[in-house]
Amino acid sequence: MKTRLNIVVAPDKFAGTMTALDVARAIADAWATERPGDNVVMCPQADGGPGFVEVLGALGGSTHHTDVCGPLGETVSAQWLMVDDVAYIESAQACGLHLISTPTPATAWQSKTYGVGELIHDARILGAKTIVVGCGGSATTDGGVGMLAALGGLPAAAAEYEHIDLVAATDVTNPLLGANGAARVFGPQKGADPATVARLERRLTLLTNELENWGYCSSKEGSGAGGGLGAALLAMGAHRCSGAELVARNTGLDESLADADLIITGEGSFDEQSLNGKVVSVVARKASECGVPAIVIAGQVSVAPKHYKQLGVHDAYSVTSHCGSIRSALARGAEALHELTRHIARGYI
């Protein structure tokens, strides 16, 4: 083994506990403590959900704060980024699940994306020629109706943004409706019980009928992102991209991998959803293409080794398993992550 390793640390956030930058710092500091001779490069990542704007802030540009309508009608302060004439908007800043203290069937039904439309409007007024909307982490399943209302309705919005390059950056490829759609897959995570999931599906079906009058197809990849926010953006003329791919490209991940001996990625919960378009899957694929081994450090790991090895991940480590319980892992936070990383690093001596 080489005496001096080049380590790239490229994690997502640990939702609700640490930002991607916090996670990257904890891992990098721990690794450097155990192996001070190694070259450790931090390259925190995001996929369009919470942390999207913070991670892309490394690009420079100007940060803007706009007071907008939150998911339940309250006023929230949302941050977005302008780099040259490109605006990066994190929809979760306006309608994120973290903005609701206790998700319930009622909040799952009532939550709206109106504030996202206000952010898009603000970006256009300030001169954005390209508007990238990160669609992850929302509390909403309104099909983007709130956003469209803030922009004057679909016909007006489509006309107004005809000459704007509108991008829906999503972390999922789910369609709007059906067994893999926005309501049935993500509704329960937002507080919806089975009856509410059924109501949400019916509401989205009615919306689909309206959108189809404009030539929109609800089976388009990413339509179900953000509780159907993806569908409304696509109906306005947006094109979809992988949020994780966009962030990786803009943060120079490929360049960082060129000389890497090991890449460390991670997220709060490494589960089945991680395998399709999330940060971990994109980082692992890129590492595999470059012939660089990848490991995952996550709050919890529920993916079987045979599945994550197909993804290109050599090993996956759980902070919860290291601490003995979820409660202990949450209570110890960065300290536990630091401790586990040092344990892993010792195996490379």
Burial bucket for residue 295 (CB in 10 Å: 0-12, 13-18, 19+): middle
Q: What angle do CA 341, 321, 34 make, to 5 degrees?
A: 15
pLDDT given for residue 17 in this prediction: 87
Statement: residue 174 has pLDDT above 60 = yes
pLDDT in tens, 176-195: 999 999 999 999 999 999 99
327 Cβ contact list (under 8 Å, min separation 6): none
Do 13 and 92 belong to one domain? no
The pLDDT, as a whole number, for residue 1 is 54
Pairing relation of β-strands 39-42 and 86-90? unpaired
For residues 79 and 206, state if they share a domain.
yes
Same structural domain for residues 212 and 293? no
Token pair for residue 67? 């007071």
Sign of CA dihedral 202, 200, 94, 337: negative
Verify that 230 and 255 share a domain, yes or no. Answer: no
CATH of the domain at 342: 3.40.50.10350
Average pLDDT over residues 280-288: 94
Helix, strand, or coil here: 265? strand
Give the count of domains, the chain.
2
Is 1 inside a domain boundary? no
My answer on whether 296 and 172 are in the same domain is: no
Same domain, 67 and 97: yes
Judge if 62 and 148 occupy the same domain.
yes
State whether the Cα torsion 209-214-220-223 is positive or negative.
Answer: negative
Structure confidence by residue, pLDDT tens digits, 44-74: 999 999 999 999 998 899 999 999 999 999 9
Residue 75 and residue 200 in one domain: yes
Q: Are residues 310 and 169 in the same domain?
A: no
The CATH number of the domain holding residue 236 is 3.90.1510.10
pLDDT at 135: 96
Residue 203 lies in a domain: yes
Which are the contacts of 175, defined by CB distance < 8 A and separation ≥ 6? 181, 218, 219, 220, 221, 223, 224
3-state secondary structure of 151: coil
Tokens encoding 251: 């943060």
- Residues pairing with 294 in the sheet: 263, 313
* Final residue before a domain boundary, out of 201, 222, 244: 244
Domain containing 195 equals 52-244
Residues 208, 59 share a domain? yes
Q: Name the residue type at position 102.
A: T
DSSP class of residue 275? Answer: G
Q: Say what the pTM is.
A: 0.92
> Does any domain span residue 336?
yes
Mean pLDDT of 98-106: 97
Predicted pLDDT at 276? 78
Is residue 206 in some structural domain?
A: yes
**Tokens standing for 232?**
């409304």
145, amino acid identity: V
* Residue 15 reports pLDDT greater than 90: no
User: CA 80, 81, 82, 86: dihedral to nearest 10 degrees?
Assistant: -90
In this structure, which amino acid lies at residue 100?
A: I
Among 187, 216, 244, the domain boundary falls at: 244
Residue 184 lies in a domain: yes
pLDDT band at residue 349, thresholds of 50, 70 and 90? low
From 198, 221, 244, give the residue that closes a domain: 244
Looking at the structure, do residues 134 and 190 belong to the same domain, yes or no?
Answer: yes
**128 with 176, same domain?**
yes
